[in-house]
Amino acid sequence: DAGVTQSPTHLIKTRGQHVTLRCSPISGHKSVSWYQQVLGQGPQFIFQYYEKEERGRGNFPDRFSARQFPNYSSELNVNALLLGDSALYLCASSLGTGDLRNEQFFGPGTRLTVL
Amino acid sequence: GNSVTQMEGPVTLSEEAFLTINCTYTATGYPSLFWYVQYPGEGLQLLLKATKADDKGSNKGFEATYRKETTSFHLEKGSVQVSDSAVYFCALGGGGNKLTFGTGTQLKVEL
């Protein structure tokens, strides 16, 4: 079975541009979470979606938004890119929400570079 | 708010040495605790977890015990291998599926 997949693998953008990152969860998983991992740091929680509804939001500006589709895949959008948005963006999927005994499975990430 | 503090790296050990990576946390209530591992060029993988005080998580020779009295979840392994070289992240679970991670500890194991 395929794990969590993310696209694209790498992306280079310039300041002020917009970017869309995509994530496909493991089949049967209904929850998707997004994390930002700046080089040398631990991942920081951005959003969680479950059954197409936002269930959690981290301390990120409104330039960051996300959505989940009926097939449970998800997009993360970032507007007006800043140099500080350069990071590895990780997607994680799990069966459900609210019970952390449900293991979260992480994708390989999308490396975003903002020039 | 929730936070995780783990020892800075890199930690360099010889093969078969004993490993300890310290992790302490600050949280309200009694969160679940996790260790994740990130091998070079790969995504995060769950290594082990503990969901309540005094629980011991274990996997692949690694162990960690949830210590409520010291708010700690230190990672240990009795004999490391070169293949254990990776970055290790301590994390705690919050509301929903939110995980709060530490900054990571790089482990290098040499022959």
Q: B14 CB near a chain A CB, below 8 Å?
A: no
Q: Quote the Cα angle for B96-B58-A90, to 5°.
A: 40
Task: Output the average pLDDT for chain B.
Answer: 93
Given this model, what pLDDT does residue B9 score?
86
> What is the mean predicted confidence (pLDDT) over A89-93?
96
Given this model, what pLDDT does residue A101 score?
59
Distance (Å) from the alpha carbon of B80 to chain A's nearest alpha carbon: 23
Higher pLDDT, B46 or B43: B46
Interface of B with A in 24-43 (CB under 8 A): 31-32, 36, 42-43
Q: B95 CB near a chain A CB, below 8 Å?
A: yes
Q: A25 CB near a chain B CB, below 8 Å?
A: no
Q: Is the pLDDT of residue A40 over 90?
A: no
Per-residue exposure over A38-56, b if at least 16 CB sit within 10 Å of its own CB, e if not: eeeebbbbbbbbbeeeebb
Distance (Å) from the alpha carbon of A70 to chain B's nearest alpha carbon: 20
Q: Is the pLDDT of residue A7 over 90?
A: yes
Residue with tokens 């082990």: B48
Q: Is the pLDDT of residue B8 over 90?
A: no
Interface of B with A in 51-90 (CB under 8 A): 51, 89
Residue with tokens 């929850």: A31
Are A48 and B43 in contact (CB < 8 Å)? no
The span from the CA of A53 to the CA of B82, in Å, is 43
Given this model, what pLDDT does residue A4 score?
95
Are B96 and A50 in contact (CB < 8 Å)? yes
The span from the CA of B71 to the CA of B2, in Å, is 12
Residues of A in contact with B51 (CB under 8 A): 100-101
The span from the CA of A27 to the CA of A22, in Å, is 15
Q: Is the pLDDT of residue A1 over 70?
A: no
> What is the mean predicted confidence (pLDDT) over A28-34?
94
Confidence of residue A58 (pLDDT cuts 50, 70, 90): very high
> What is the mean predicted confidence (pLDDT) over B56-85?
96
Q: Which two tokens stand for residue A8?
A: 């694209």
Are A31 and B97 in contact (CB < 8 Å)? yes
Given this model, what pLDDT does residue B67 score?
95
Confidence of residue B72 (pLDDT cuts 50, 70, 90): very high
Given this model, what pLDDT does residue B23 score?
97
Given this model, what pLDDT does residue A99 score?
64
Q: Is A45 left (phi over 0), alpha (psi -120 to 50) or beta?
A: beta
The span from the CA of A32 to the CA of A39, in Å, is 22
Per-residue exposure over B31-45, b if at least 16 CB sit within 10 Å of its own CB, e if not: bbbbbbbbeeeebbe
The span from the CA of A41 to the CA of A56, in Å, is 21
Are A101 and B32 in contact (CB < 8 Å)? yes
